[in-house]
Amino acid sequence: MTPLNIVILAAGKGTRMYSEKPKVLHALAGKPLVQHVLDCAISLQPQQVCVVYGHGGEAVPQAMSQYAARFVIQEPQLGTGHAVQQAMPHLGDEGTTLVLYGDVPLIQHGTLHQMQQVGNGLVLLTVNLPNPSGYGRIVRDAQGDVLAIVEEKDATPEQREIREVNTGILLAPTKMLRGWLAKLQNNNTQGEYYLTDIVSMAVQQGVAVHTVQPAQEWEIHGINSKSQLAVLERTWQLVEASRLLIKGVTLADASRIDVRGKLNCGRDVEIDVGCIFEGKVSLGDNVRVGAYSVIRNSSIAAGTEIAPYSHIDSSEVGANCRIGPYARLRPGTKLGDEVHIGNFVEVKNSEIAANSKANHLSYIGDSTVGSRVNVGAGTITCNYDGVNKHRTVIEDDVFIGSDTQLVAPVTVGKGSTIGAGSTITRNTPGNELTLSRSKQVTVAGWKRSARKK
């Protein structure tokens, strides 16, 4: 394939977002709009990607600095043709140039690939809309060949009847594009340099003008306001949900799931309403996720049940575990198979081996917990002395009585039992009962103080 340049226009102010943030940095499915476009652009393996951003939009190159793209400022903003002109000095003459938009986030690889397949000449991405208002119209001759794009504000009443509109996305031979852009005039209703004027120039030179339609209409929807963003977010989430349904995932309600990243599911996975998946999440076979759970960058192995309202972040959960309701697994949690983590239990940066349980109201932080351990209700690892964090080691087959504090660094020896209500500050020997408690006394004849009259 011929070398490809990609220009992403992202200089628009986004006035109607009523925000301090540049429009293209607002998120859809948890990712900035322009980043969706950059990811799609990169997937075409271009030679060069050039993002045209606007005055006051310095946050755009800063936020996207992980991309091997060139960021070019357009100031002042004199129209879409002028915007592409800013990129031209940075592009080599060979091959073709594709123009994309930072506020049209859901354009898909397949549609752009189809444009590349068309061959020589100018390729426009167009779409037929029942209500074409606001868009440039595709004007064709009696043979159906494209003659020009006319902006709505410059169109005659007859031209306004045309339903085929310009999405703005186009592919052109770079050398020709350079020549056409140099000849643009701004003698139109808006006083702008229109990128769309290159179409009639191509026609005059006898260069073929082809059109391609997107696979789905939502691919070409642009964002100008928070309401358009909200609508496109729901559209995208339904796309994600139907992908999951097609693969056999059971969703309690396809309109009440949010995927902000990549969710991989095994067979017979069930997801209840209101769940949010962020980053990379994988759910093994037969995993069930209860209502209103939030899972980010984590893997859950086969057969595990996540009960409602659980939060799992950057954790690995083994097979056949029972998590929640109301459990919180923080980054660095690694659970073996058949582990139970119950309500109001928080685990952080800890490994808990197979068949261990912490069923109620506990904090397990910076710990290594063995197999078949029972952590009683209210047990807390005191991992922080105000300056440093220390580790707690709980060896296999330990039983920790309720309401115990384990003051780290400390090791609870294999098979040992800790009496309820203990504060453990030193290592405990294996297979013995250790407790630290004052003796229970009864003070005979003691009276509560009476209220003064």
Binding residues for Mg(2+): 103, 224
Tokens of 247: 């693969």
Does residue 36 carry a catalytic annotation? no
Q: Which is nearer to ligand UD1, 149 or 271 (CB)?
A: 149
Q: Which is nearer to ligand UD1, 83 or 202 (CB)?
A: 83
> What residues have CB less than 8 Å from 27, skipping those under 6 apart?
33
CB 49 within 8 A of CB 91: no
Give binding residues for acetyl-CoA as ranges: 377, 383-384, 402, 420, 437
Q: Which of helix, strand or coil describes residue 109?
A: helix
Min CB(223)–ligand UD1 separation in Å: 9
Q: How many CA atoms lie within 13 A of 371 on its CB side?
A: 6
Give binding residues as ranges: 9-12, 23, 74, 79-80, 101-103, 136, 151, 166, 224, 330, 348, 363, 374, 377, 383-384, 402, 420, 437
Min CB(199)–ligand UD1 separation in Å: 10
Q: Which is nearer to ligand UD1, 63 or 78 (CB)?
A: 78
Q: Which is nearer to ligand UD1, 232 or 321 (CB)?
A: 232
Q: Which is nearer to ligand UD1, 195 or 410 (CB)?
A: 195
Min CB(103)–ligand UD1 separation in Å: 4
Min CB(116)–ligand UD1 separation in Å: 21
> What residues have CB less than 8 Å from 439, skipping those under 6 apart?
none
- Give the interface with ligand UD1 as residue ranges (CB under 6 A): 9-12, 52, 74, 77-80, 82-83, 101-103, 135-136, 149, 151, 165-168, 194-196, 222
Residue 346: count other Cβ atoms within 10 Å of its Cβ: 19
Q: Which is nearer to ligand UD1, 79 or 303 (CB)?
A: 79
Q: Which is nearer to ligand UD1, 151 or 346 (CB)?
A: 151
Q: For residue 124, give the nearest of 80, 168, 79 by alpha carbon.
A: 168
Min CB(135)–ligand UD1 separation in Å: 4
Q: Which is nearer to ligand UD1, 25 or 354 (CB)?
A: 25
Min CB(44)–ligand UD1 separation in Å: 19
Which helix (H) or strand (E) covers residue 435, if one does? Answer: none
User: Any bridge partners for residue 351, and if so which?
Assistant: 334, 368
Measure the CA–CA gap between 296 and 275, rounded to whole angstroms.
11
Min CB(16)–ligand UD1 separation in Å: 11
Q: Which of 36, 82, 109, 360 is catalytic?
A: 360
Which helix (H) or strand (E) covers residue 124, if one does? Answer: strand 122-128
Min CB(393)–ligand UD1 separation in Å: 57
Residue indicated by tokens 């095994």: 266
- What 57-62 contacts at long range (C-beta under 8 Å, 24+ apart), as own/partner pairs, is 57/10, 57/11, 57/22, 57/24, 59/21, 59/22, 59/25, 60/10, 60/22, 60/24, 60/25, 60/34, 60/102
User: Any bridge partners for residue 343, and if so which?
Assistant: 360
Which helix (H) or strand (E) covers residue 251, if one does? Answer: strand 250-251
CB 435 within 8 A of CB 401: yes
C-alpha distances (whole Å) from 224 to each of 23, 189, 195, 368 are 8, 21, 19, 51
Give binding residues for UDP-N-acetyl-alpha-D-glucosamine as ranges: 9-12, 23, 74, 79-80, 101-103, 136, 151, 166, 224, 330, 348, 363, 374
Q: Which of helix, strand or coil describes residue 353?
A: coil
> What residues have CB less than 8 Å from 248, skipping those under 6 apart?
267, 268, 269
Tell me, rounded to whole angstroms, the distance of Cα 206 from its chain centroid: 45
Q: For residue 276, give the nearest of 253, 295, 297, 299 by alpha carbon.
A: 295
Q: Which residues carry out catalysis?
A: 360
